[in-house]
Structure 1
Amino acid sequence: MTEPGLRERKKRRMYETLSEVAIRLFLEKGFDAVSVAEIAAAAEVSKPTLFRYFPAKEDLVLYRIADHEDEAARVVVESGEAPLVALRRHFLDGLERGDPVTGLSDHPQVLAFHRLLYGTPSLVARAHGHIERQEAALAVVLGGDLDARLAAGQIIAVRRILAMENWRRIAEGEAVEDVRRDAVVAAERAFGVLADGLPWLR
């Protein structure tokens, strides 16, 4: 794969810097208490520059999870296995690793980020676009027709709901290892239901 050029690397660093500065301020003061002007000043850029990278304030937060938008699609393409086999294995591996995407992480920064994301109505609303892009990317690799779109919607919903349940329990103070045992059982059951309803993907 071709390495990104200097211009692309600089652009990527700017995205990362702006997002990191914004999230730090949001965690310190609350999303609604921080202005775009304050973020721009802290990042030492102008407001127009910030808006060139992030058209909406919410996008500064969602950038952190943007690289997961095509994750399910990549898993299917790269595995060589049946789609549900590959996605089930990937999710279970994530539970084993404590991947934050599965909700099974008690790292303070991860918990704080999730509280910010799920506790801010405008971020929750904006995140629907993130979910739709996940579904669209997965639907393409599953065939792109109506059946593929219906299947992708179900798969992405299952992954999201499983992760949300794990995050909720850990945020309420349960130990990761206690949650992990139930999370594995729940994931196995959920992917089993998907396999029963989507036999052409198993």
Structure 2
Amino acid sequence: MSPSEPDTGLRTLKKQRTRQALAEAAIALFLDRGFEQVSVAEIAAAAEVSKPTLFRYFGSKEELVLHRFADHLGEAGRVVRDRAAGLTALDALERHHQAGLAARDPQTGLTDDPEVLAFLRLVYETPSLSAHLFDYLEADTRALAEALDPDGAVAARLVAAQYTAVRQVLAHATWSRLAAGLDFGEVARTADAETAEAFALLRGGAAAHGF
């Protein structure tokens, strides 16, 4: 190991911690006062860094929030590529979504954590965040389409787009019920049933193409 390697690791760790501190400071301010009411300067001050430093880590206010979704980019494509032999792509994606519901993954909208519910409200009810979220979804859709068919057939692109739309509709519907104060167990059961229904609808159009 060269003498520079430990220093490189420490610098990487420090950058990760700074990035996390910036995001946490920003989201806390957004939840408290609203996305539009908080300036970049206030976020930088709360995290004890300069504005130029903040912009080295995040290109915009929106990225301070939506970076949480970046961890899941390409996930659907990986699920399809890594699926067990004999399992269709949609079967693998449905199992993955059901597993997310069981694990209370915030990406499914099913969570009993008040802070996560508030975070999802921030994303869903802030127009600029909702608009920027589509950039992440588009990238995820492209990755899934490539996993379905590396040759780029239009059928694969259509199925990928439909899956992404279905996933978002299911997550938003589930979150909306929880945000309205409905019983968690009832919402969970509804989410399971709607997931099965949604994938049955998807299969109706995708089966002819082997997905």
TM-score (norm 2): 0.89
Partner of 1:116: 122
- 1:150 corresponds to which of 154, 158, 168: 158
For 1:13 and 1:63, how far apart are their aligned partners in 2? 14
Secondary structure of 1:198's aligned partner: helix
Is the counterpart of residue 187 in structure 1 residue 195 in structure 2?
yes
For 1:181 and 1:172, how far apart are their aligned partners in 2? 16
Partner of 2:139: 133
Maintained 8 Å contact 1:19/1:64: no
5 Å-filtered alignment, 1:63-102, equals 63-80=67-84, 81-102=87-108
Query: Could you give the per-residue CA deviations for residues 12-33 of structure 1, whole angstroms, max 9, x where no partner exists?
Result: 2222221111001111111111
Mean CA deviation greater in 74-83 or 24-33: 74-83
For 1:8 and 1:192, how far apart are their aligned partners in 2? 45
Secondary structure of 1:39's aligned partner: helix
Partner of 1:105: 111
Maintained 8 Å contact 1:195/1:201: no
For 2:57 and 2:103, how far apart are their aligned partners in 1? 32
Secondary structure of 1:79's aligned partner: coil
Letter in 1 for 2:118: A
Tell which structure's C-alpha radius of gyration is larger: 2
Structure 1 gap segments, 5+ residues each = none
State the identity as a percent: 51
Letter in 2 for 1:12: Q
Secondary structure of 2:111's aligned partner: coil
Partner of 1:25: 29
Mean CA deviation greater in 172-181 or 8-17: 8-17
Query: Could you give the per-residue CA deviations for residues 67-107 of structure 1, whole angstroms, max 9, x where no partner exists?
Result: 11211112112223321111000111111222111111121
Structure 2 gap segments, 5+ residues each = 1-7
- 1:174 corresponds to which of 168, 182, 206: 182
For 2:161 and 2:70, how far apart are their aligned partners in 1? 18
Mean CA deviation greater in 168-177 or 7-16: 7-16
For 1:8 and 1:132, how far apart are their aligned partners in 2? 29
Letter in 2 for 1:53: Y
Query: Could you give the per-residue CA deviations for residues 115-154 of structure 1, whole angstroms, max 9, x where no partner exists?
Result: 1111111111111101111101111111141222111100
What is the number of equivalent residue pairs in this alignment?
199
Secondary structure of 1:12's aligned partner: helix
Moved over 6 A (4+): none
